[in-house]
A = this chain, B = another copy of it.
């Protein structure tokens, strides 16, 4: 069961401030929770599950820390869920800690200049994980990667890719590396894959800020064959990452 104070606590985790203070985030549904629980080093704080999830996942449930699992009713799950249609299980996890942080001098790092849509951000994190990136640098105005909507679309990639929120110019100026900026006026990427550097993706409608664009060493674009006005930011990121990493 869930007591009133728990309902209140979980609801408060919709706020970034509370998530930051508590160092936790919420995930929902068997697909992502089962994947997260299977990751090494993942630390679930609390799992609220319907009997159906518990009986279907006895091995996972058995490995949870003492007292972390609460069996809840459909009605109780509805009270705590952030989804329109609650999905069997909700869990609170500790935010991941990255001990072996990798920066732009050692590897390709993705930089997001004001990505606003939570779905786009989640999809971009999954994409970065697919292509082996270890770090994403976001400006403080970008969507928060631990908001429930972002977490839902990252799947367990949120545990494998480190996101930091910091001043983009300051970060980029620390490294003498190629800075690839996605820009309509750029050239298609050719050449061999870089061993280090930064790929900058801009805001969904305004693109990359002028100051950041000035740091670009290579402006790259995806040739347009047809007539669409633009590509979705996550799709553009996926295509450029495939070109830069494969």
Contacts and interface: CB of A to CB of B under 8 A. Distances in A.
Given A188-B246, A238-B235, A238-B238, A156 B226 contact: no
Interface string A211-238: 0000000000011111111111011111
A153 to B, nearest CB: 8
Q: How many copies does the complex hold?
A: 2
B188 A225 contact: no
Interface residues of A, number: 40
A14 B231 CA distance: 26
**Interface of A: prevailing SS:** helix
Contact of A225 (B232, B238, B245): B245
Contact of A35 (B31, B123, B229): B229
Interface of A: 31, 35, 119, 123, 126-133, 153, 155-157, 160, 188, 205, 222-232, 234-239, 242-243, 245-246
B155 A226 contact: no
B131 A225 contact: yes
A231 B126 contact: yes
User: Which among A123, A130, A231, A243 has the highest number of chain B CB atoms within 10 Å?
Assistant: A130
